[in-house]
Amino acid sequence: MRSTLVYDLPTRLFHWLFAGLFLVAFVLAKTSDDESIIFIYHMLAGLMLGGLVLWRIVWGVIGSKHAKFSGFNLNLFELKNYILGIISGSKKRWPGHNPASSWAAITMFILALGLAVSGYLMTTGNKETFEDIHEFMANTFMVVVGLHVTGVIFHSIRHQDRIALSMLDGKKEIPENSTSIRSSRSFAGLLLIAFVFAAGLYLYKHFDPSQRTLGGFGQTLQLDEIGKDGDDD
């Protein structure tokens, strides 16, 4: 086994931005009233989360070896063997995403897009139709996160593996015959940071707290029922 670079910088930055934005959106939604201005910020975080996933889809096609979706292990037979291997103490290693993290990532990407879309549809006068769906997906997302974190902990303990740190420095212990990546793609990482900053600035500039509306792209979204009635009391 050798410790080598497998995850590029954009993939690692995405991982933490994705986790952070979802956590912010989820906590704000669960700790604030629907009529509070704080609740509106959970919606803005959700929109940024959806945009971030769209970026990840692009990076999943053009990114480095272990960032590409083609490198994800979505074989159900391999997933079963991976889970049994944790129990039995199997020492098999995956250079990139293992079967469990591959499924967790794809599931969270789909749920994040679903949350962004359903949240948007709720602002178009269909709140009652999509509210339950939106909440179900948010709670399901948290369950997947819990399973993912639990899996990482069990994997780290069972295999004595530093997998939990791989999204910090990008390095993993992999078999000698496995291939690493040549570059961390630092410039692409800077572009991702610029993209997130620009998206946040755009939302900030086009958000009207007094009317609770979000403008841009040729339309204005009413982010709550209070603004529709013109009554902030």
Q: Is the per-residue pLDDT at 188 higher than 90?
A: yes
* Top-confidence residue, 100 or 163: 100
Q: Is the per-residue pLDDT at 228 higher than 60?
A: no
pLDDT per position as a tens digit, 137-152? 999 999 999 999 998 8
> Nearest CA to 99 among 133, 75, 63, 66?
75
Amino acid letter for position 114: G
Amino acid letter for position 125: G
pLDDT per position as a tens digit, 92-146? 777 888 899 999 999 999 999 999 999 888 887 777 788 899 999 999 999 999 9
Q: Is the per-residue pLDDT at 229 higher than 60?
A: no
What is the bridge-based pairing of β-strands 2-5 and 171-174? antiparallel
Amino acid letter for position 70: S
Query: pLDDT-based confidence at 231, cuts 50/70/90?
Result: very low
DSSP state of 182: S
Q: Which two tokens stand for residue 102?
A: 């591959």
DSSP 3-68: EEE-S-HHHHHHHHHHHHHHHHHHHHHHHS-TTSHHHHHHHHHHHHHHHHHHHHHHHHHHS-TTTS
pLDDT at 190: 96
pLDDT at 177: 64
pLDDT at 225: 54
pLDDT per position as a tens digit, 6-20? 999 999 999 999 999
User: Residues 184-198: what's their mean pLDDT?
Assistant: 95
Q: Is 2-206 in CATH node 1.20.950?
A: yes
Query: pLDDT-based confidence at 85, cuts 50/70/90?
Result: confident
Name the 3-class secondary structure at 2: strand
User: Residues 216-232: what's their mean pLDDT?
Assistant: 64
Q: Is the per-residue pLDDT at 160 higher than 80?
A: no
Using a cut of 0.85, tell me whether the model's pTM lies above it: yes
Give the orientation angle of helix 99-122 with respect to helix 37-62, to 10 degrees: 130
pLDDT per position as a tens digit, 25-73? 999 999 988 888 898 999 999 999 999 999 999 999 999 999 999 999 9
pLDDT at 127: 78
